[in-house]
Each structure stands twice: as C-alpha cells, then as structure tokens.
Amino acid sequence: MQDWLTMTAADLGRGIGEGQIDPVTLCKTYLDAIDAHPLRDRIYARVTPLRALAEAQAASERAKAGYRLSPLDGVPVSWKDLFDTAGIATEAGTALLKDRVPDADARVLANATAMGLVCLGKTHMSELAFSGLGYNPITATPPCINDEEAVSGGSSSGAAASVAFGLAAAAIGSDTGGSVRVPSAWNDLVGLKTTAGRLSLEGVVPLAAKFDTVGPLCRSVEDAGLLLAIMEGNKPADLAGADLEGRRLAILQTVAMQELDDTPAMAFDAAVQKLRDAGAEIEEIAVPELEQAMPLSGCLFTAEAYGLWRDVIEENPDAMYGEILERFRLGNSHSGPDYVAAWAKLDAIREIYARAVAGFDAVILPTAPLLPPQLQRLETDHDYYVSANLMTLRNTRIGNLMGTCSITLPTGTPSCGILLMAAANHEESLLRLAAAAEEALA
C-alpha cells in the first residue's frame, strides 16, 4: 500500500479498474498518510475526510459493478484553496476571506467529482494567489520537497507539496503568471498551464481573470492529460506512439536565458541534449519584441487584481501580509487609458510572437531561472523578496503574456524544470510532445 503514495494517478486508476486497488482502502491510505505527516498543517489548509470517504465508497461500488466514470474514478486528489467547495471553507490563503463557505463547488471541481475523482481537501497557497514564491505568513508556508527550509513555489504551493510529499495522487491549482509551473518545477513534478479560457473559472476565487487559468500538478504527462479531460468533460489526448523524431523545438533566447543561476542553466542544457539525442531538431530564436512585453505585466496584472479586490482590501488592509498588500496597491498607479494601451500593445506583440514561432512544435526554456529561495531570507529581506518573486515568475510569465499553453517537466536535476510552450488551445499536441520529451528526459 505504501507504493500507492508514489504511483501516478493513471497507474492508480488502472489498479482500480483491474480490481487490484479498492478506492476506499486507497482513500484511507492517503488520509492516514496526511494525518501522520509532520508537515501536514503546512500543506493542507483543511482535509475533507467525510467527503473523501463518501466519494471513495461510491467509486468502490462502481468498480465492483464494472462501471467506472473515467480512468481516474476513485483516485484521490487535492484542490488549491481557491476552488469553491460546497459547505467547506474556501479562503484563498487570506484572512480577508476567513470563514468564507461557498454554497456550491467550482465548475471544474463539480466536473471532476462527476467523473469520480475523490476530494482529499484544500491546500495552502500564496495569499490571493499573488506571489510566485509560496511564502504566506498569514496562513502557512508549504515546504519544498528538496529542502524543507525553502519555499515550494507559488501560488499553488500546497498543491505541489501535497503531491511531492505523497499526500495526494495529483493536485489541481491555478496559474496566472506561473503558479502551476513554478511549484511543479521546484518539486520535480509535471505542471500544465492551460490556455486562458479553456477551463471554467466559475467558482474560482479570481486574481486577474483575463490571465487566470486552471491546471494540474502531477507525476506524469499522462496524468496531466487525463486531469485536463476530466475537468473539461472531454476525451483525453492520445499519447500513444509519441516520439521526438523530426519535431522542431526553439530555444527562446530573448529574456528567458538571461541571468540564470548555474544549476538551472546546466540542467536546461543537459535536458536539451537529451531531446536532441532523441531526434528533436532544436534551434535558437530571438523575439526582440518580448523585451517590450514583459514590463506590461506591471500594469495588466496589478491593475486587474487591484480593481477586483480594492474594496475588500481597503476595508481591512492590516489583515494582509505587507508584501502582498504592496503588490496589489501597485495597481492603483495605473489609469484606465494605461490599461487599454497596455492591452493594445500586448495584442500586437502576441501577433509578432505567433509568427516568429509558427514553424516550431514548441518553444523551450528553463521553467524558473533560480532555485527555491530560503524561507528565512524571504522573511527578513524585503528587497530580496521583491527581486526573487519577480525573477521566479519571469520565464513562466512569458507564456501568460503571449497567451500560450505550456507544460513543465522535471529535468532530473532537483528543483529544475524545462518548460515547453505551444500555441493557444493546442494542449493535445503539446501533451503528445511532452510525453515524448518525458521519456527522453527519464
């Protein structure tokens, strides 16, 4: 049973389908592991054993009857604490929403439940999802699997930790500027950022709605594909026979390769060589206009976030962590015309970028330019907190600004991921490519 805590969600699903794993026993195994784990309260905001066991019992009965709702029917997963859960507090990592209890599940959670997924509980996160580091002194700061004194990456910090520490078979998070991919990379997981608008945001506590996306953090590309399909109510991507022979990949030199720490740089170079050895054709490209796009996030993200949250924040600003409060208030420095002009400029750059990469199957870059920062330094050094947060999200933010879908894969070097970006709404072809890359990197 202990092996169940490290198996992929897909393998657990196959075990259930073959009658080798009982969903109730599997659920209890995970709940017992959560209860026994010394870092439980830094990872889970709240566990939902009654709901989990009821869902697992129903899955068990379906499995015995030979009628399963999906390949992951009966598999236990965690949910970031910004997905509404009926009758269960959803607080988005902030005291501003303390004791907020929704009446209904978020749409993607309802879809997942209808397809048999078992909800283990809600995981900690950066306050209102507005940090890539995962440091949250208001609620809790989840640990990194490779260094418990370091942050796990945000804002889906507890989501990543729940999977990496064997306390969930997979996790569902959100990504506005890197919040699925950074914690996935730092915890040696697969993380899929879906195209904005592809998965429903109904019942998801917002940050910047035009950039917010929903995505899985998991142990394999197959898991990512299955979870996407389940949340969407669609068929999963066909990954059979995927290979890298003749696939064209572009290393993005603009912005993404600047000021890399040594370890992520070496991990990326080694990963690129493995992809080449597997038959991929890889060349370097530059898109100079990206240099103009990156500063636009300062207006687009903060203006939208502060516009959504201003009234709530200013009623009780002392309830917030100062660094997050300061970041939200930056939105107040941008006018309506600033915001409109920034979007017009970004739309033009998106067209230029799309033409520049049109001949490639994916654009590749290091997921994060640095390793997970130490918690103690973030607590005491304001300037370092600000610079580390911006640098952490730099590479992933390219995908959000350019409107792409993207996926991070472990490179084999601890806390170092390689990011593959593809055109909007091309998740299925990206997943096939990622499955082949996953095999090459293994």
How many degrees, rounded to 5, is the angle at CA 399 between CA 396 and CA 404?
145
d(C-alpha 205, C-alpha 108), whole Å: 13
Check 70, 78, 155, 174 and give the catalytic one: 155
Q: Which of 77, 74, 75, 76 is nearest to 64 (CA)?
A: 74
Q: Which of 108, 107, 129, 222 is nearest to 178 (CA)?
A: 129
Check 80, 122, 193, 274 and give the catalytic one: 80
d(C-alpha 292, C-alpha 380), whole Å: 32
Show the tokens assigned to 8.
């992929």
Check 179, 220, 406, 415 and give the catalytic one: 179
Is 274 known to be catalytic? no
CB 164 within 8 A of CB 148: no
How many degrees, rounded to 5, is the angle at CA 10 between CA 54 and CA 242?
155
226 dihedral zone (left: phi>0; alpha: psi -120 to 50; beta) = alpha
If you ran DSSP here, which 8-state letter would residue 374 be given? B
Is 333 known to be catalytic? no
Is 122 known to be catalytic? no
If you ran DSSP here, which 8-state letter would residue 96 be given? G
Instruction: Read off the amino acid at residue 350.
Output: R
Q: Is 4 in a helix, a strand, or coil? A: helix
Q: Which of 189, 140, 131, 198 is nearest to 160 (CA)?
A: 189
CB 84 within 8 A of CB 97: no
Q: Is 196 in a helix, a strand, or coil? A: coil
Active site residues: 80, 155, 179
